[in-house]
Amino acid sequence: MGKTRRMETFDWLVQQMNAALVVVTVDDHGTPAGCVVGFHIQCSIEPRQYAVWLSKLNHTYRVLAARDRVEGSYIGIHSLTEADHDLAELFGANTGDEVDKFAACDWHRGPHGVPILDRCPSHFVVGITAVVDLDGDHMCFAGNPVAAERGDDYRALRLSAAMDIDPGHPPEEIEG
């Protein structure tokens, strides 16, 4: 099987997994930053650990990467529901380089000053303990949950339901 066919097959298989979408939020020295993320997963049972991968083009990534010490920082992981397509569009189709996404939604400060989206009652905060760069276009931030809240009647907003949202930084911007 040639490389092109292998990549097409890989892309198709991953798309069938239909990842849940989340909004990741961070505090940028008193200013909130956040983006939609499809690359995320629990990565340890004991202790509980979670990992998210942020695009290196993304404003939220640059907020974290610019810190003197990323380990010890905190991020919010907000579970989007099927009713949150507009929130996914706000945080996924716009870039924090140009748009104050938080001016268009209700939010408050949560544990460790992490911005918490009021529309997302199911969320948790992760204390970052590790950063992994595999030389791809995304960087992994992993750590331990330090707080968690659960809303009622949660049905995840899946990638397939948000394919109509054009990303604030499209993949074509990646330098090859």
Q: Are 72 and 128 in contact (CB under 8 A)?
A: yes
- The pLDDT assigned to 173 comes to 60
Coil, helix or strand for 3?
Answer: helix
- The pLDDT assigned to 45 comes to 93
Top-tier CATH class for 21-157: mainly beta
Which residue's entry shows tokens 């992981």? Answer: 77
| Residue 4 CA, distance from chain mean position | 28
pLDDT in tens, the chain (176 residues): 788 889 999 988 888 877 889 999 999 889 999 999 999 999 999 999 999 999 999 999 999 988 878 888 999 999 999 899 999 999 999 988 899 999 999 999 999 999 999 999 999 999 999 999 999 999 999 999 999 999 887 777 777 767 777 766 666 665 54
- The pLDDT assigned to 86 comes to 94
What are the residue ranges spanned by the domains of the chain? 21-157
Which runs of consecutive H residues, i.e. helices, occur in 38-143? 59-65, 85-92
- The pLDDT assigned to 176 comes to 47
Beta strands per DSSP E along the chain: 22-28, 31-37, 40-44, 49-55, 74-79, 107-109, 115-117, 123-132, 138-149
